Chain A
Amino acid sequence: MSEQIILNIAGVSKRFGGLQALSDVNIKIMQGQIYGLIGPNGAGKTTFFNVITGLYQADTGSFELAGKPYSPSAPHKVAKAGIARTFQNIRLFGEMTALENVMIGRHVRTHQGLFGAVFHHKAARREEAEIRQRAMELLEFVGIAQFAERTARNLSYGDQRRLEIARALATDPQLLALDEPAAGMNATEKLGLRDLLVKIKSEGKTILLIEHDVKLMMGLCDRITVLDYGKPIAEGVPAEVQKNPAVIEAYLGGAH
């Protein structure tokens, strides 16, 4: 595994009115890692996600992706820079088919505009065919190719999660950021998801993962950061983090 740093975030702070949602969060993710971000409800995990993907603007902080600084000023710029995300509450394009959803993911890596759309010249046709083929491959990859023509809204919950991951992968991301992908899944589905994440990792992709399910995270992640009240309270390999007294306190409450 190469030792290149994919994501290097330092000193991120974010305040909503009187609430300090994030204070001085640092994260360093190496190429090919699955990096976990855990913490109790309201710890600021999703806020952190929204900040690095440009949905919220950070008050302070420096952002580097694959050695190059990027500015998370707008979501579409972040996607272009190479971070693709999924959402805690699934956000698919409900009335489009599964295949079309993934094809949207290719938008940021393709170029045909109005002219190509209307005149269908050779380059436009080629690009369209490539988009379709790549989208089909990704559906295959996440294991829902048989539902390609199904309307996204009508897929089962677990398949919608998979579709969202496929759509994110379609943007050719340097970093795949998943916001609670296992939320609402049953045990079998969680195992399936875990296998999928391992498979994505084996392709050399880097994953940043928010999750509540500590058990799932412990076996899966290479490193973990624990957030509590917007502050990182522990960082390290899962086994260390698990024993950290601050983490135990945050999850179970102080010793009484």
Chain B
Amino acid sequence: MANYFDTKKNPRKAYGGLLLILAIALVFPFIAQNFGNSWVRIMDFALLYIMLALGLNVVVGFAGLLDLGYIAFYAIGAYLTALLASPQFAVVLESFVNQYPPIGEALLWVFGPEIAQNGIHLSLWAIVPLAALVAGFFGALLGAPTLKLRGDYLAIVTLGFGEIIRIFMNNLNGPVNITNGPQGINMIDPIRIFGVSLNGEAGSRATVMIGDYAMPSVNAYYFLFLFLCIAIIFISVRLQNSRLGRAFVAIREDEIAAKAMGINTRNVKLLAFAMGASFGGVAGAMFAAFQGFVSPESFSLTESIAVLAMVVLGGMGHIPGVVLGGIILAALPEVLRHVVEPLQKSLFGEVLIDAEVLRQLLYGLAMVLIMLYRPAGLWPSPKSEDRPTTDNDTAKKSTDVVAV
């Protein structure tokens, strides 16, 4: 299995495998929709989590910087979308006018009456790059104070940052109402691509019409998320095999040696934080548009840990592994929710263990087992020694071996 995705060593197998997976991914919603929309919806969320896990993988997997506040960037992407693609901005302006009339008037003058009436409604084409940029900026901003920290200390500080962002979202409804506080922001615009709303037009019962072809709204989102996921995977892979990707890994392996080899570790680390955060920002923007609603409770520490678990469980630094981890951990609980209760009903006639309880139980058990038996993750990066084409010249080695 290790070399199935090694395009350099084994191109035919690798591209064949990739095509097969792509085909399955493309066909999946058409088959799943026969069993109701929920399966596709589960996969929609799984794809969002994969984007998050891939972003965190840049920071944790490649650069080795343990980040426990990663969900903050997801939150930033989501809230950015909530502000810039919903009536919320009108509320913000109104709140400014009421609280600080001079600032409010100035803002009104800048934005004009149209925005004051209806808020800002940017399109997907502006939201995605903007979310990536803003989240990336915050990634670098939050990364900057942590540059000298490593390991546990870094984890603690990033955890703090993650909480700070969430608490900001929770409390920025006063003195000026920006985030609507714990109530969250709703009525976020659905995504429109070339005039087609992915939520379906009003009264269409969530059916998207593309020309004459109709598909459920969740399928339309599925394909959008799939596309973004593939783009993020593509960027990750390219990054990994580049000068910068090597610099990330060098910092993970030995920071002092990396410095001595001329790597400006400050800049490279900031770039890693920014890259990872920008993926998270895009995922957050998609989450907001898909849900139509954001509130601070979606961005708790538990979510950060869940994303970290995907990366660690899948295989830190190994992109296919991280994708696998994302799918398993995002989809498994939902699958359980759908399977466990009916199963118990048919077996025992009643529900003995709640799906949510069982989910947490299995989740913890899976974690313990993985860490015990596959500490490098379910699907870790192949060691070069495992690649069959490598010349394992052991005879030469034995002559040089010295007792250390």
Contact = CB atoms under 8 A, between A and B. Distances in A.
B242 A156 contact: no
Given A74-B259, A95-B253, A128 B242 contact: yes
B401 A157 contact: yes
A238 to B, nearest CB: 27
Interface stretch (A15-23, A57-65, A98-106, A205-213): A98-106
A97 interface: yes
Interface stretch (A38-46, A86-94, A225-233): A86-94
Contact of B246 (A80, A84, A104, A156): A104
A55 B391 CA distance: 38
Given A74-B259, A113-B244, A147 B264 contact: no
B150 to A, nearest CB: 15
A117 B239 contact: yes
Contacts, number: 135
Interface string A93-128: 111110010011111101011101110100010011
Contacts of B383: 151
A189 B400 contact: yes
Main secondary structure of the interface of B (DSSP, over half): helix
Given A91-B257, A118-B239, A96 B250 contact: yes
A11 interface: no
Contact of B265 (A53, A76, A103): A76
A222 B390 CA distance: 41
B243 A128 contact: yes
Contacts of A189: 400, 402
A75 interface: yes
A100 B383 CA distance: 13
Given A116-B242, A167-B261, A157 B402 contact: yes
Interface of B: 235, 238-239, 242-247, 249-250, 253-254, 256-265, 271, 275, 383-385, 387, 390-391, 393, 396-397, 400-402, 404
B228 to A, nearest CB: 15
Contacts of B397: 155-156, 159
A160 B142 CA distance: 37
A174 to B, nearest CB: 13
Contacts of A171: 261-262
Contact of A149 (B260, B390, B396): B390
A31 B400 CA distance: 32
Contacts of A154: 385
B242 A158 contact: no
A146 interface: yes
A184 B256 contact: no
The list of the 5 closest CB pairs from A to B, nearest first, reads: A108-B262, A79-B262, A117-B242, A93-B253, A75-B259
Interface residues on A, range: 35 or more
16 contacts: A76-B264, A79-B262, A80-B262, A84-B260, A87-B260, A91-B257, A92-B257, A93-B253, A103-B246, A107-B243, A108-B263, A117-B244, A118-B239, A151-B385, A156-B397, A157-B404
Nearest to B249: A96
Contacts of B393: 146-147
Contacts of B396: 146
A94 B178 CA distance: 48
B400 A158 contact: yes
Contacts of A129: none
A71 B344 CA distance: 72
A150 B391 CA distance: 9
Given A104-B247, A110-B243, A149-B387, 5 more contacts: A75-B256, A79-B261, A93-B254, A156-B402, A157-B401
Given A93-B249, A96-B250, A150-B384, A76 B259 contact: yes
A248 to B, nearest CB: 31
A112 B105 CA distance: 47
Given A150-B390, A157-B402, A171-B262, A120 B238 contact: yes
B261 A107 contact: yes
